[in-house]
Amino acid sequence: MGSPSSPSTSSAAAAARFTGRAVTGERPLSGALTEVGLDDGRTVVVKRADAPGAARAEAAGLRWLADAGTVRVPVVHGVDGRRLVCDRVAQGPASASAAVRFGRDLAGLHAAGAPAFGAAPPGGPEEAYIGLAPMRNVTGDDWPRWYAAHRVLPYLRRAVDAGTLRAGEAADVERVCERLPELAGPAEPPARLHGDLWNGNVLWGADGHVHLIDPAAHGGHRETDLAMLRLFGCPHLDRILAGYEEAAPLAEGWAGRVAVHQLFPLLVHAVLFGRGYAEQAGSAARAALRLVG
């Protein structure tokens, strides 16, 4: 980390303001992240968000996840219009024992619940984000109808309008939306979701626990978090799922519904990153449709 300094940058100034400590040094981690050392020996991370409301949405999500008292997330020290200041997670190796604990903790997070599907965290905005993509937190009581209207079709339209998704692929996704009442499995209450649970947001801590960062938290179906975790792979995923099912068994047939729940993140990625994810979304839609013939 850099040499001791006064809070001469916006990131250092935000860290000093929200922690009440003097800054001893700082080190850029990326274009959006800066690691800042404090005079009490702690290190915090300052994240800059360019989109209006994104920092506030992320802070509200982290606090809501923390309120469940199950999964570990960085402590939020403060947030302003563009910057979020939170604790740094000291990372260590992935382990099977930590994975089992994380599975149980994730089940506890989901069981903490939400007022409705699409419910924003307390203090969080309706106009939120998943990664760099806008995500509206509009509530509903019927998961199939809500998921189609607010998690699949908005990104489908954007991908089609951009020419990223082809007509046949779009038609398959639309058919999945039409048949969601048959594909959804048994009705479940709204779960408290991390909402962007891919491997990059799962940090294996030096303390032997998994810590979660960068949520797009909202009320949703618990299988969506698990499907996203499977989408890009995760160390010891089998042990995570074993711990989860030990604490909160999943409804029969959940593995066959993974493609249904992966449509949301795949379409988001198609909007953000292009054609390769559009092809995967088309494949997921066809896999889902095979469940109902």
How does pLDDT run across 234-287, given as a tens digit for each residue? Answer: 999 999 999 999 999 999 999 999 999 999 999 999 999 999 999 999 999 999
For residue range 28-53, list pLDDT tens digits in order: 998 899 999 999 999 999 999 988 89
Residue scoring higher pLDDT (9 or 233)? 233
Report all structural domains of the chain as residue ranges with CATH numbers, in order of start. Answer: 10-87 (3.30.200.20), 96-290 (3.90.1200.10)
Predicted confidence band of residue 85 (pLDDT cuts 50, 70, 90): very high
DSSP per-residue string spanning the chain? -PPP--S-SHHHHHHHHHH---EEEEEE-SSSEEEEEETTS-EEEEEE--STTHHHHHHHHHHHHHHTTSSB-PPEEEE-SSEEEEEPPPB----HHHHHHHHHHHHHHHHT--SSBTPPPTT--SEEEETTEEEE---BS-HHHHHIIIIIHHHHHHHHHTT-S-HHHHHHHHHHHHTHHHHS-S--PPEEE-S---GGGEEEBTTSSEEE-S---EEE-HHHHHHHHHHS--TTHHHHHHHHHHHSPPPTTGGGGHHHHHHHHHHHHHHHH-HHHHHHHHHHHHHHHHT--
Determine what percent of the chain is predicted with pLDDT higher than 70: 97
Query: CA-to-CA distance for 64 and 40, rounded, in angstroms?
Result: 27
Choose among 145, 155, 289: nearest CA to 216: 155
Q: Answer positive or negative: Cα dihedral of 246, 252, 253, 254.
A: negative
- For the four alpha carbons of 87, 89, 90 and 96, in that order, the dihedral sign comes to positive
Active site residues: 196
Mean pLDDT, rounded, for 143-170: 97
Nearest-angstrom CA–CA distance, 92 and 73: 15
Rounded to the nearest 5°, which phi and psi values hold at 264? -60, -60
Residue 293: burial class (beta carbons within 10 Å; 0-12, 13-18, 19+): exposed
User: pLDDT digit string (tens) for 196-218?
Assistant: 999 999 999 999 999 999 999 99
pLDDT of residue 73: 98
Token pair for 279? 């092809």
pTM exceeding 0.85 = yes
